[in-house]
Each structure stands twice: as structure tokens, then as C-alpha cells.
Structure 1
Amino acid sequence: MFDRVVSSFRQRLSSLPDKRTGKNTRYGMEDAALSGFSVFFTQTPSFLAYQRMMEGSKGKSNAQSLFGVHQIPSDNQIRGLLDPVAPEHVFPVFEEILQVLEKQGQLANFRSVADTLLIALDGTEYFSSSQIHCSNCSSRTLKSGKTHYFHRVITPVIVCPDKPRDPVPES
């Protein structure tokens, strides 16, 4: 099941717009996006260092074995590749994953009152600068009059009372 979702995810991500030209295409857009996504499956400060350590000690990293990442870009390379991609290009990926999970019956055990899904929301600010900004940045004016730019994200999680979280197996 997990492999089917990742395969669908990879296929969608391979069509993300890529503004690179010439020979500057060492990493595929899908590898960058899947590497970024796989960060949520590790609890380490440095994603790339952890993946390289796993590859050295076990022969394969989680990014390779769980997500089929061919080459793992660094955090900065991931940002450089994905920052220009408008969020609208990624939205269909989440809809498709939800459809696959529904079709496979994976959401049935999470349904509660009136056959609904309970969604917990968590928000975080993941970029912050007083100098660097883009057209998608939010901004706030500080008391000093200085403008501060930032990005925020809301992360939805399907939850169900009395259901333990199923961990993803390590490879």
C-alpha cells in the first residue's frame, strides 16, 4: 500500500515545473520533492547527514528504500528546486493520495461520527527573514518599522480516538 502511494506521489511530482536549463539537472524534481517529504519520517536535525549515515552503515538510506529517491539533494538544493514551484502544482498530489487511501479502504478505520474524518491541524512558520522574500511571502511590520517576511504552513493530520499511530518501518 505504502509503495503504491509513493509511486503515485512520484509520478505526480515528476511533472512539477522545472525552470532549470542546460546541464544543471543533476536532481530530478521528484527526488527533491520526495526528499523534502521524507524529512517527516526522520527526527534528525540534518536530513542529508542522516541519510548518508544510513547509506554508509546499512547500504541504503530511508529516502532510497522507502521513497525511491535516486540521488539525495542537500537541504539548500531542495529549497532551490522547490521554492519556485507554486503550491497549486502540488495540491493534486494530496488529493490523489487521499483517493488512493480511500479506494484501498485505509481510511475506514479512521472514520468517526457520521462517517467523517477527524483532522487535526498544526501550524508552523518555516521561513523568516527581514531581507529575503518572494511574491508568496507573508509579511508583518515590526514596532521598529522594519518589514519581516515569512512563510507559514498548516499541516493536517487524520486522527482517530483510540487508534495508535502506525509507524513506518525503517529499512
Structure 2
Amino acid sequence: MTAAKPNHLKARRLLLDHLDRHPDRTVKNDLDPHEAGIVGDAAHKAGGDSYHLGKDRIRARAGRDRYSVDESRRDRDGLDDHASAMDIGFFKVRTPRGTFDLYDFNAWLVELCKADHPDTRDLREVIYSPDGRTVRRWDRLGRRSSGDDSHLTHTHLSEHRDADGHRMVRLANRWLRHIGLITAKIQEEAPAA
């Protein structure tokens, strides 16, 4: 059964702890738990190929490669029963440094990806919207440049399957420090040897 990697759960918890300002209820500008997904839902399972699925849920489709496995040796070698992605839904938060939302996060993250920042080196792709009107994709392998309209209101980050997720924790921490919600760097899991 597909499971979330411990470090992905840690990154998710870190984001929810700071961006879900009303944890007991659903609020429009909060990042609510149902908007921060790791393991694929029924729609992902029906598609048969997603970084949100582990090897128990990935299936070949007639005449098509399993892009989340077959396009990268890191994905083929790292395929196991863990999901290797996280979705982040819309949020808008005011901090002492200003007001920030999902689109600010997207611009910040994609800039880091394009600069090959060390904390992004496990990311395979980011499917995002810069403005809530268009969808774009940053793809480390340069194979795709777009995504479906569901990404107008949530951002998809997938890591190569051989990654343990520690860089996802660092990215969440880095973002929260960037916008002024936290001041100290949190202790993270050490990468697997």
C-alpha cells in the first residue's frame, strides 16, 4: 500500500503548523490539511501513473510510458511503496514582512529550481501557476512544460523516487523563514547514507 515518506510528512506538518491559521475549521486563505496531499487519491490511482503513487499502484498503460518511473534512472532505481510528491493548496498569509500567497511561493520556488539551488536538487518537477490563470511546469529533465487546470489552485512538487524527502523539509523551512513566520532553522532528518 502506498505510504508517505516520513520526511514528506514532516514537511507537510511544518507547512500546516504555520499556514493553517485556523486549524479547527476550513478557511479560504488557510492551507488546510486536505489541501496538503502526499499519497494519491482515487483520481491518481485511476490514472495509474503519478509521483503520488508507490509501486503497488503504478501500472502500465497501453502504448504509454510510466513517466514517473521510466524517464529517470533515479525514479526507476528508487521505486518502492512510497509516494514521492506533495501538493500544496492555496494560502494567503500576512507576516511582518508582508502578505504572501501560493503564487509568491511558486515564483520563489521556481527561481530556486532554475538556479539549481542545492535544496531543489531532488525535485523532478514543479507544476504550478504563477498567477491563478495559467499553468506551467518546471521539469528538471526538460520533457514537459504544462499541466492540467487543477494546478491553478494548488502546486505539485515531485521528487525523484530515490530521494528521502529531507530536502523537502529544508524547502518548507526555507520558505517559512523567507516570509518571516519562523526565525530558526529546524533540525531535519539526516539523509540516508
Judge same fold: TM > 0.5, yes or no. Answer: no
Greater RCO structure (CA 8 Å; 6+ sep) = 2
Structure with greater helix percent: 1
The TM-score with structure 2 as length reference comes to 0.26
Task: Pick the structure with greater CA Rg.
Answer: 1
